[in-house]
Structure 1
Amino acid sequence: MNVLTLTKKWAWAGLSLALFFTACQTEAPGAEKPETSPETTAAPVDESLKASVKGPHLLEPAEVKALYDSGEPFKVIEISKADKYEKGHLPGAINFWRPDYEGGGYEYSGMRLSADEMAALLGSHGISPDDFILVYCTKGSVDAIRFMWMLDLYGHSKKAIMNGGKAAWAADGYELTTEAAPEAAPVLYTFQQPEQTAKLASFDDMVAALQDTNVIILDTREPEEYQGVPYVDKGACYPYKKGAFTFGRIPGAKHLNWSDAVDLDGDHRFKSLKDLKYNFKKAGITPDKKIIAYCQSGVRSAHTTYVLTELLGYPDVRNYDGSWIEWSHRYVNQGDVPVEREIDEAEHQIRLAALQAEAAAKLAAEE
Structure 2
Amino acid sequence: MTLLLAPMEGLLDATLRDVLTRTGGIDRCVSEFIRVTQTLLPERAFLRVVPELLHGGRTRAGVPVRPQLLGSDPVCLAENAARLAGLSPFGVDLNFGCPAKTVNQSRGGAVLLDEPELIGRIVAAVRRAVPAQVPVSAKMRLGFNDDHRAEDCAHAIAEAGADELVIHARTKAHGYRPPAYWERIAQVRASLPAGARITVIANGDIWNVADAERCRAVTGCDALMIGRGMVTDPGLALAIKGLGGVPWQQIPPLLLAFWQQVSVRVERRHRAGRLKQWLNYLRQRYPQAQAAFDELRLVHEPAAIESWLQASQIRPPITTEPIPALPAELAHSC
| Fold similarity call, TM over 0.5 | no
Higher helix share: 2
Question: If the TM-score is normalised by the length of the shorter chain, which range does it land in?
Answer: under 0.3
Higher RCO (C-alpha under 8 Å, 6+ residues apart): 1
The structure having more radius of gyration, on CA atoms, is 1
